[in-house]
Amino acid sequence: MLGGSAAWGKGPVNLFGETALPPAETPEAPGVRVLKAQAWPRPEQFAAADVLVAYCYLDWDAPRLQQVRRHLARGKGLVVIHSATWTKPRPSAEVGALTGIGGFEFYRHGPVRLRLKQPGHPICRGLPRQIELADETYWPATPPPSAPAYTVLASSAEPVKPGAEVTQPQVMFWTCEPGNGRVFGCVPGHFTWTFDDPYVRLLLLRGIAWAGRSDPNRFDALALPGARLREGD
């Protein structure tokens, strides 16, 4: 979560270790079990997962692409958040065929005005048409998205190139359905305060549920506990 002209380049930092958490006991998330993976899931974690959730750069290679391809072919889900949507060292059409977006060219930090493009989608239903954040954006989706059932859920007006005054809508949240699987993508998430926003929480929680072919509103009750509803919370 570093600002400036370059990201952290010395490898992942894990402050808590890789642990398997027990099944959730809260009534808001019955039957949920979370397995934590450092850098990449183990084979047994792939086998057990209904939805894979990635947050941080993914070190893609041919075997890992095939693992995710098999996971999605089984009708399972994938969620990519913030830097997991930015492919290193450059955008990849192969990654885009699986995740919906193969990478980006530019980034910036500052105000973000999200505009819902699919207010009737189960993930977006009932949310305000405009959501304002202070975060980091990536754009444009590169190469142009071509994954099956690719759908832009929310966009942000971004400069056609850094420093330009002319802007164009750029994807910030999306879904796609490669093979038999479901993928949900989220560009924002550079700053931890973004995850305190109840609207962002709803988008993420619903995206995870949707990717797992569950009721998209299954986790809505988890969006408010601890959320920042006003300045100073």
Would you tell me which CATH number, out of the four given (3.40.50.880, 3.20.20.150, 1.20.1070.10, 3.40.50.1100), belongs to the domain 49-221?
3.40.50.880
Spatial CA neighbour of 147 closest among 187, 177, 186 = 177
Alpha helix (H) ranges present in 7-160? 43-48, 62-73, 93-99
CA distance 99 to 81: 11
Question: Where exactly are the structural domains of the chain?
Answer: 49-221
List pLDDT tens digits, range 176-209: 999 899 999 999 999 999 999 999 999 999 999 9
List pLDDT tens digits, range 2-24: 333 445 455 544 445 555 555 55
Tokens read off for 128: 């305000």
pTM of the model: 0.89
Find the helix or strand (DSSP H, E) in which 203 lies: helix 198-211
Say if CB 96 and CB 146 are below 8 A apart: yes
